[in-house]
Structure 1
Amino acid sequence: MNDNKKKTLAFSGHRMNRIRIGKEELSALIQAAIIHFYLQGYRIFLSGMAEGLDMLAAEEVLKAKEYYPDIKLHCIIPFKGQANRMGTEDKARYESILSGADNEICLSEKYYEGCFLRRNDYLVENSSQVVAYYDNVPQGGTHYTVRNAHKRGIEVFNLFGRELEYHHFYQDELLMGWGRSLFNVRAVSYEQAVESIRLLGFRDVYELDEHPLVAYDSFEYLLETNTPVSPEGNKGQATIEYLKCDSLKTAVFSNADTRIAEESQNTIRELACLLSEKKLADELDMLPSGLRDKNNPGKYAEAYQEKYDGYLKNYMELLSKL
């Protein structure tokens, strides 16, 4: 298998009147599949440019090119003048797709009986992965393509009956104290879910409540940022934390890397505590032990707590910027 074929994926699917889900949901599935397979090394995406899934997939590839410039869309046209058989709206979409495509391969100068099947053969022969919407009814061009792919040992990723799964993540925020939001990403795989977060720019989840991939559903206040992030309910996958504070504003850490972030934040906090206590002691001309609550030596007396908290906040902000 040549290198181009190893990284080439072909789309195949029914017309919209045979597809059982709405266009918006189908678009989300296709986009998720594109990201999923891009992460596996696929860079060239083939569309047979038929009405229905083919053109919708081509449009989603062009959208993906906005954040993956190395993606290539190749339009495989069965015969010259294919669009002349389409309605006005689909013909306009067809021409728009061709204008944004990286390559246009026309297999015949004119229509002939069987040209669509030859187009389908080309898709399978020149790819190592097929993404299809196939309803398992043994008739039509998609059935022919899927059967051909299986005969050649090419994997078929079928969108029919497939739903985007929810993967759970956390966003930690440094406010007056730490808060944590739980949010969900609908994706075909955990890896694609993580990539979707990266592509959204790691913006605050509260800005993304209307985005089709992300929705938050809870918030809790934390005493510290080292509260465990559990993979429970996430099919055993480790979650990631998005830590938001002055020094970690755009950083995303996996569970393994969170320890590094926590150690850094704990070091900053320890130093800020020492500086705050010294400043408070110098200002009041008291020994640090004299600032403590007699009934609870681990805490500052109520009279000093507010002042100490103010110093601590200022030192945390200053040290986080270093």
Structure 2
Amino acid sequence: MEYEYKNQTCCFSGYRPEKFSFSLVVDNPQYQQLKSDIHKAIACAILDGFQFFLCGMARGFDILCGETILEMREERKEWRDLQLIAVIPFPEHSENCSEEWRLRHVALEVRSDELIYTGEDYHSNCYFERNRYMMGL
């Protein structure tokens, strides 16, 4: 898959909550620092010309980044054209998540500019296929 705007596209995929050395809860200073660092990195990407953001939609880092894009679109008028594209490995992807992460996943889906499903159901390579899609391979 080759994107029309590949040189303006950034992809998010990363750690799940259990892989972090700290808890991803709002009152945790390390979590707040992570959110700030994500915001700064995305702002730098925007200043470098990135406008399309593909989110792998997994619990943890992916969803944090997607939520940050939505927050940033509200912050500044010139960022309202940023495009959030949810790249989901299969339709039932969020069904086995905790209620919190499932609700966050659904909220991102609803507010994304586009939903792309890279598969029809779970299989051993579905996340690999999602990542390859996001990289345009």
TM-score range, shorter-chain basis? 0.7 to 0.9
2:110 equivalent to 1:69: no
1:1-322 alignment runs, 5 A limit: 3-20=4-21, 22-66=30-74, 67=76, 68-125=79-136
Structure of greater Rg: 1
Using the TM superposition, give the Cα deviation of residue 3 of structure 1 relative to its aligned residue in structure 2, in angstroms: 4.9
Task: Give the count of matched residue pairs.
Answer: 126
Instruction: Write the letter of the residue equivalent to 2:49.
Output: G
Corresponding residue number in structure 1 for 2:25: none
Runs of 4+ in 1 over 4 A off after TM superposition: none
Q: Is the partner of 2:91 in helix, strand or coil?
A: coil
Instruction: Write the letter of the residue equivalent to 2:125.
Output: G
Q: Deviations over 1:185-206 (max 9, x none)?
A: xxxxxxxxxxxxxxxxxxxxxx
Distance in 2 (CA, whole Å) between partners of 1:2 and 1:60 is 23
Task: Normalising by structure 1, report the TM-score.
Answer: 0.38
Instruction: Write the letter of the residue equivalent to 1:16.
Output: P
Decide whether the 8 Å contact of 2:8 with 2:49 is kept in 1.
yes
Instruction: Write the letter of the residue equivalent to 2:108.
Output: I
Instruction: Report which of the two has the higher share of strand.
Output: 1
Distance in 2 (CA, whole Å) between partners of 1:48 and 1:99 is 15
Calculate the aligned-residue CA RMSD, in Å: 1.5
Using the TM superposition, give the Cα deviation of residue 11 of structure 1 relative to its aligned residue in structure 2, in angstroms: 1.2
Higher relative contact order (CA 8 A, sep 6+): 2
Distance in 2 (CA, whole Å) between partners of 1:31 and 1:63 is 9
Percent of matched pairs sharing the same residue: 30
Distance in 1 (CA, whole Å) between partners of 2:95 and 2:3 is 35
Distance in 2 (CA, whole Å) between partners of 1:46 and 1:65 is 15
Q: Is the partner of 2:95 in helix, strand or coil?
A: helix
Distance in 1 (CA, whole Å) between partners of 2:102 and 2:13 is 19
Instruction: Write the letter of the residue equivalent to 1:88.
Output: E
Task: Normalising by structure 2, report the TM-score.
Answer: 0.86
Decide whether the 8 Å contact of 2:14 with 2:61 is kept in 1.
yes
| Structure 2: unaligned runs, 5 residues or longer | 23-29
Distance in 2 (CA, whole Å) between partners of 1:6 and 1:48 is 18
Using the TM superposition, give the Cα deviation of residue 2 of structure 1 relative to its aligned residue in structure 2, in angstroms: 5.8
Decide whether the 8 Å contact of 2:13 with 2:58 is kept in 1.
no
Q: Is the partner of 1:84 in helix, strand or coil?
A: coil
Report the CA distance shift for 1:57/1:2 in structure 2 as closer, same or farther (over 3 A). closer
Q: Is the partner of 1:49 in helix, strand or coil?
A: coil
